[in-house]
Amino acid sequence: MAGIVGYGAYVPSYRIKVEEIAKVWGDDPESISNGLVVNEKSVPASDEDTATIAVTAARNALQRAEIDPQNLGAVYVGSESHPYAVKPTATIVAEAIGATPELTAADLEFACKAGTAGMQAVMGEVDSGMIDYGLAIGADTSQGAPGDALEYTASAGGAAYIIGKKNTIADIETTYSFTTDTPDFYRREGQPYPSHGGRFTGDPAYYKHVFGAAKGLFEKTDSKPEDYDYAIFHQPNGKFYIRAARKLGFTPEQYKYGLLTPNIGNTYSGAVPLALSNVLDKAEPGDKIFIISYGSGAGSDGFTLTVNDRLKEIQELAPKTQDYIDDKHYVDYAVYAKYKGKIRMA
Amino acid sequence: MRDVAIIGVAQTKFGELWDTSFRELIAEAGLGAIKDSGISGDDIGAMYVGNMSSGLFVDQEHIASLISDHMGLNPVPCTRVEAACASGSLALRQGIITVASGYEDIVISAGVEKMTDVVDATPAIATASDQEWEAQQGATFPSLYAMIARRHMYEYGTTREQLAEVSVINHHNAQYNPYAQFPFEISTEKVLNSSKVADPLTLLDCSPVSDGAAAVVLCPAEDAHKYTDTPIYVKASAQSSDSIALHDRRDMTTLDATKVAAKKAYDMAGVTVKDIDVTEVHDCFSINGLLAVEDLGFTEKGNGGKVIEDGQTRIDGDFPINPSGGLKARGHPLGATGIAQACEISWQLRGDAGKRQVDGAEIGMTHNVGGTGGTATVHILSRDKN
């Protein structure tokens, strides 16, 4: 069966605090922090974008995979902030890591779950024997409209997964997806910022699909929350994540390592991939992991994983997720606006 | 003029009803009331619908036609009436006048609002204020009521805790209301510590954004026994106007429209405030619930906080208020509230209010306000014909 052979993370080092953003718009920072369960978010520098994040994460994944990049048969990059509307991020990555020319590549979009959708595609290609190894990346430099609630959480980061059948560090036993047409959050071509449905993004969107996929995954694997060591969910903010985890019956011990949003914001397509990389950095052989991603539009991809012995051999071969989270430098709103291209230049 | 009775009532659940559309809501309530009354659709002479802002919320006007169409009532004449959050009680009043005058025999009065199709309801709700001199100057509804609260606290020493108690009591009552949006208790601490909205009001001082509909069936009092063993008689229907803008009021801490309508209602019904056993008031914000206690005459101006704090407005108190949970905990789909209040009082007077029943309730009252007090309606209902 297909499994993870190598994984790698990247989070930009700049941070902006909730108080700093709240100061500009006259919001009450405590209300925001407590309400959303978020303290600060990552900010990409002006020379960073989804492509650079994806490349760094991919290089880290290759370090851990210990394979020749020429053996990669596919590269998929899932994002909602691809640098180009037409011209794939995936080929930039493939070229940068030395995987070209014998491979297939494409970009994916499904809001925050494009990365996990890419993982499913690669799993299929590996399991069918079409390729030996494939690379799936979830990465974003997401935009929040100035003054909108999402500005407190829309951040940047990504993680990459090399999937194959040999020398896996974790086997992906099952995948189950739950998908409907639900327009909770969207951005038309050419619009700088996304639109969202306010409270419609809660019960009819996030929770419906996360719970739908979780229920299906429990049924498909005939398992219960107690059977897992770790649980990971999509995390637009800390509040949704914790509520989902608790309602499904998981304990803080199980879900705490998977929650990164309070310290780096919501990295959108990078969110569940980064949460998983953080958990893999700390996991032990034999650990079982339960994962539910979510992408607006809407859908959730569920996975169950069991960690193998090889994980211990390769955890240290690349920077850990926590290393990137801890490497931080604060900026104020003016520098943040400059880096995010929110200042109208001549 | 002849007397009028309510022979059927129904409401939908109030809440964020993502899966229920505007037209489904009103059909559910309207058809529910028709079923409750035992009339046939062919008996209906006219329909009145209260709705504040279908245009801004669901891009639909001409809802009178949409509703009669969707409820299968064509060619029954249907009329939409509007006075912001008092739209429901206006529909009730117009229905009553139509039956009382003899123009029609069976009339449906309904109210509906679908507020959750927009991301932010604030701009639509703000159209209940003076657009030129309030809304466009930066006022929102919470801020206008916050100013009323601040003035009341300044003039009468009303405390933050007394305001919070309005919400606490509402939530306590709502746990027994199957239609309520928030059927659970909350504590004073929770109210005080909830997010700031407009100082001194916090999130839990404010009624929510809600979807919902309610309807009642009216008929001449002399015919009521043909349809039901528990007709509820309309003893008074009064309505009054005041300045639309808060800053033009005689006294910021008094809703004169409530006082005028209440006096007219008491006179019409031949009762005083002391005869009222149960009341549904317009607590769009906790302060307005407090003002209602004063302006309807339950206590003198400035003493509202004290009587609420002393538990007088609880179901077992001297003057029970909002056994349904009120706007705060039952929910506040703007156009539906005025009719939902009439539904609750009807259930109370019928003895059908379950665990939120006010014992022995014989005379009830509803109080519905538009905007910050530009319109107020007071209805008095009774179990007895006389």
Residue B55, pLDDT > 90, answer yes
Domain boundary among B176, B198, B226: B226
Last residue in a domain, options B226, B257, B282? B226
- pLDDT reported for residue B65: 97
Mean pLDDT of B6-32: 97
Torsion, Cα B242 B246 B252 B254, to 10 degrees, reads: 30
Would you state the structure tokens that stand for residue B60, as one six-digit string?
């639909």
Task: Write the CA distances from A220 to A121, A254, B48, B232, integer angstroms.
Answer: 19, 21, 53, 56
SS3 of chain A: the string is CCEEEEEEEECCCEEEEHHHHHHHHCCCHHHHHHHHCCCEEEECCCCCCHHHHHHHHHHHHHHHHCCCHHHEEEEEEECCCCCCCCCCHHHHHHHHCCCCCCCEEEEECECECHHHHHHHHHHHHHHCCCCCEEEEEEEEECCCCCCCHHHHCECEEEEEEEEECCCCCEEEEEEEEEEEEECCEECCCCCCCCEECHHHHHHHHHHHHHHHHHHHHHHHHCCCHHHCCEEEECCCCHHHHHHHHHHHCCCHHHHHHHCCHHHHCECHHHHHHHHHHHHHHHCCCCCEEEEECCECEEEEEEEEEEECCHHHHHHHHCCCHHHHHHCCEECCHHHHHHHCCCCCCC
Can you tell me the distance from the alpha carbon of A112 to that of A293, in angstroms, rounded to the nearest whole number? 8
Query: What is the domain partition of chain A in residue ranges?
Result: 3-169+324-339, 173-311
Percent of chain A with pLDDT over 70: 100
Question: Are the C-beta atoms of B132 and B141 separated by less than 8 Å?
Answer: no
A35 touches chain B (CB under 8 A): yes
- Both B155 and B218 in a single domain? no
In this structure, the answer to whether residues B17 and B151 fall within a common structural domain is no
pLDDT score recorded for residue A101: 98
Q: Residue with structure tokens 């005939």? A: A222
CATH number reported for the structural domain that contains residue B25 in this entry: 3.40.47.10
Phi, psi of B211 (to 5 degrees): -105, 150
pLDDT in the model for residue A250? 98
- Which of the residues A150, A199, A208 would you substitute to probe the B interface, choosing the one with the greatest number of B C-beta atoms within 10 Å? A199
- CB of A320 within 8 Å of a chain B CB? The answer is no
B298 and B352: one domain?
A: yes
pLDDT at A345 exceeding the cut of 90: no
Q: Reply yes or no on whether A102 is catalytic.
A: no
Is B249 found in the same domain as B215? no
B35 sits in which H/E element:
helix B22-37
Long-range contacts of B268-271 (CB under 8 A, 24+ apart): B268/B235, B268/B236, B268/B237, B268/B238, B268/B380, B269/B235, B269/B236, B269/B363, B269/B380, B269/B382, B270/B235, B271/B235, B271/B363, B271/B380
Nearest to residue B168, comparing CAs of B299, B321, B367? Answer: B321
Identify from B119, B120, B210 which residue to disrupt to test chain A contact, counting A C-beta atoms within 10 A and taking the largest count: B119
Contact status, residue A261 vs residue A251, Cβ threshold 8 Å = no
pLDDT at A177: 98
pLDDT at A346 over 90: no
Q: Do A203 and B18 touch (CB under 8 A)?
A: yes
Q: Are residues B318 and B357 in the same domain?
A: yes
Distance CA B330, CA B344 (A): 11
Distance from CA of B128 to the nearest CA of A (A): 22
Asked if A196 and B119 come within 8 Å (Cβ–Cβ), the reply is yes
Please name the member of B18, B19, B195 whose beta carbon is closest to the beta carbon of A31: B195
pLDDT value, residue A7: 98
pLDDT at position B386: 78
Statement: residue B356 has pLDDT above 90 = yes
Is the confidence at residue A81, as pLDDT, over 90?
yes
* Cα-Cα end-to-end distance for chain B: 15
B-chain CB neighbours of A186 within 8 Å are: none
* A174-182 average pLDDT score: 98
Catalytic-labelled residue, pool A112, A151, A196, A209: A112
Task: Please give the average per-residue pLDDT across B315-329, as a whole number.
Answer: 97
> How far, in Å, CA of B149 to CA of B159, rounded?
9
Residue A9, strand partner residues:
A159
3-state secondary structure B101-116: CCCCCEEEEEEEEECC
pLDDT of residue B223: 97
In the 8-state DSSP scheme, what is residue B357?
P
Task: Give the tens place of pLDDT for each residue, B254-274.
Answer: 999 999 999 999 999 999 999
Please check whether the two domains, A3-169+324-339 and A173-311, share a CATH topology.
Answer: yes
pLDDT tens per residue, range A125-155 = 999 999 999 999 999 999 889 999 999 999 9
Please give the pLDDT value at position A73.
Answer: 98
CB atoms within 10 A of CB A123: 22
Instruction: Name the residue range of residue B28's domain.
Output: 4-120+209-226
Task: Give the pLDDT confidence score for residue A166 in this predicted structure.
Answer: 96
Could you tell me if B48 and B163 lie in one domain? no
**pLDDT for the residue numbered A122:** 98
Kindly state whether residues B215 and B168 are assigned to the same domain.
no
pTM of the shown model:
0.92
Least confident of A8-12, A33-37, A114-118, B292-296: A33-37
How many CB atoms lie under 10 A from the CB of residue A344? 5
Model confidence pLDDT, tens digit, residues A214-235: 999 999 999 999 999 999 999 9
Domain count, chain B: 2
Q: State the pairing for strand pair B201-202/B196-198.
A: antiparallel
CATH of A3-169+324-339, picked from 3.40.720.10, 3.40.800.20, 3.20.20.120, 3.40.47.10, is 3.40.47.10
Q: How many CB pairs under 8 A join A and B?
A: 20
B135 and B65 in one domain? no
So what's the pLDDT on residue B250?
98
Contact B154, B191 (CB under 8 A): no
Between A15-19, A31-35, A213-217, B367-371, the lowest mean confidence (pLDDT) is in: A31-35
Q: Are residues B302 and B359 both part of a single domain? A: yes
Please tell me whether residues B310 and B175 are part of one structural domain: yes
Q: Is the pLDDT of residue A41 over 90?
A: yes
Q: What is the ipTM of this complex?
A: 0.85
Our CA-based measurement puts residue A282 at a distance from the nearest CA of chain B, in whole angstroms, of 37
Q: Does domain A173-311 have CATH number 2.60.40.1080?
A: no
Q: How far is B148 from chain A (nearest CA, A)?
A: 23
State whether B239 and B359 are in the same domain. Answer: yes
Same domain, B111 and B177: no
Q: Quick one: average pLDDT of B171-195?
A: 97
